[in-house]
Amino acid sequence: MLEVKDLHAEVDCTPILKGVNLSVRPGEVHAIMGPNGSGKSTLAQVLAGHESFKVTGGSVAFDGKDLLTLAPEERAREGVFLAFQYPVEIPGVSNTYLLKAAVNAIRKHRNEDELDAIDFLKMFKSSMKLLDLDESLINRPVNEGFSGGEKKRNEVFQMMVLNPKLAILDEADSGLDIDAVKIVAKGVAQFRNDNNAVVIVTHYQRLLDYIEPDFVHVLYDGRIVRSGVKDLALELEEHGYDWLKNSDA
């Protein structure tokens, strides 16, 4: 589904990604771990098409399409979703309004009919309940006045409603208490199936206690220096990233 090959990217002429390789197949959950500044969030942003990052080499194929030539909205419509680490506030625009516009933009791209308000509500309700989101939240402006936990859960909520093929969760658990982490995990568990894939970008392995990854990759200084199964995350937890640095040298 996703083939990242020798991906290089820079911001303001500073190289951040220095040859990333990653292969994700349908039904898989990948965790990308690494210390601060290793390039984890950059990778997530580059895959989503953020224009602050310049791709200087390599390729990204998504369902056979060259992802790097697509605008951010085209990637979204093809089924790439990014749950932001820091979701921005959109004053005056309600959650429902945004989601309705987003769902219909994606449906239009797939030549499907637009959904009406009632179908939307149905779509929303079960996911909101699962994520323990208050119903009033969908009529509030996007992320405005949301608590940190609400913002993160709202990202997962949007993921469930938009139902992408590939969901990239950027530090979906940072700043959350353990109950909120469990809720986020519940959302991801509900979302995943044999046809979609999840890439979890995280500093800590805590979230992985609740979402079991099929593969764990360690990103260090812009490269994936080690890949393994979920035990790798536990090893990292135990020894810290320095252990990797040393063992790698």
Partner 1 sequence: MAQDNAIQAPEVVSESDELIARSIEQEYRWGFVTDIEADAAPKGLNEEIIRFISAKKNEPEFLLNFRLNSFAHWQTLEEPQWPHVHYAPIDFQEIIYYSAPKQKEKLTSLDEVDPEILETYEKLGIPLQEQKMLAGVAVDAVFDSVSVATTFKETLKDAGVIFGSFSEAVHEYPELIEKYLGSVVPYRDNFYASLNSAVFSDGSFCYIPKGVRCPMELSTYFRINAAETGQFERTLIIADEGAQVSYLEGCTAPVRDENQLHAAVVELVAHKDAQIKYSTVQNWYPGNKEGKGGIYNFVTKRGRADESAKISWTQVETGSAITWKYPSVILRGDNAVGEFYSVALTNNHQQADTGTKMVHLGRNTRSTIISKGISAGQGQNSYRGLVRVAPGATNARNYSQCDSMLIGDKCGAHTFPHIEVAGPTGQVEHEATTSKIGEDQLFYLRQRGLSEEDAASMLINGFCKEVFRELPMEFAVEARKLLGISLEGNVG
Residues making contact with partner 1 (CB under 8 A): 48-52, 71-73, 75-77, 81-82, 84, 87-88, 90-93, 97-99, 101-103, 105-106, 109, 141, 158, 162
Q: Residue 34 or residue 49: which is nearer to partner 1 going by CB? A: 49
Closer CB to partner 1, 94 or 174, in the complex: 94
156 CB neighbour count, 10 Å cutoff: 25
User: Encoding tokens for residue 173?
Assistant: 């658990």
Question: At closest approach, how far in Å is the CB of 97 from partner 1?
Answer: 8
Nearer CB in complex with partner 1: 138/233: 138
List Cβ neighbours of 105 (8 Å cut-off, separation of 6 or more).
73, 76, 77
The minimum distance between CB 141 and partner 1, in angstroms, equals 7
The torsion region of residue 37 among left (phi > 0), alpha (psi -120 to 50) and beta comes to left
Q: Using CA atoms, how far apart are residues 31 and 67, in angstroms rounded to an integer?
A: 21
Under the phi-then-psi rule, with left for phi > 0, alpha for psi from -120 to 50, and beta for the rest, what region is 6?
Answer: left
Asked if 160 and 190 touch (Cβ cutoff 8 Å), the reply is yes
Token pair listed for 208: 């992985």
Residue number, 165 or 182, with CB nearest to partner 1: 165
Least CB distance to partner 1 at residue 164 (A): 10
H or E stretch at 162:
helix 148-162
CB of 142 to partner 1, least distance (A): 8
- 140 vs 182, beta carbon nearer partner 1: 140
User: Of the two residues 168 and 224, which places its CB atom closer to partner 1 in the complex?
Assistant: 168
Measured from the CB of residue 13, what is the shortest distance to partner 1 in angstroms? 16
CB 159 within 8 A of CB 76: no
Cα separation of 236 and 248, whole Å? Answer: 13
Minimum gap (Å) between residue 106 Cβ and partner 1: 5
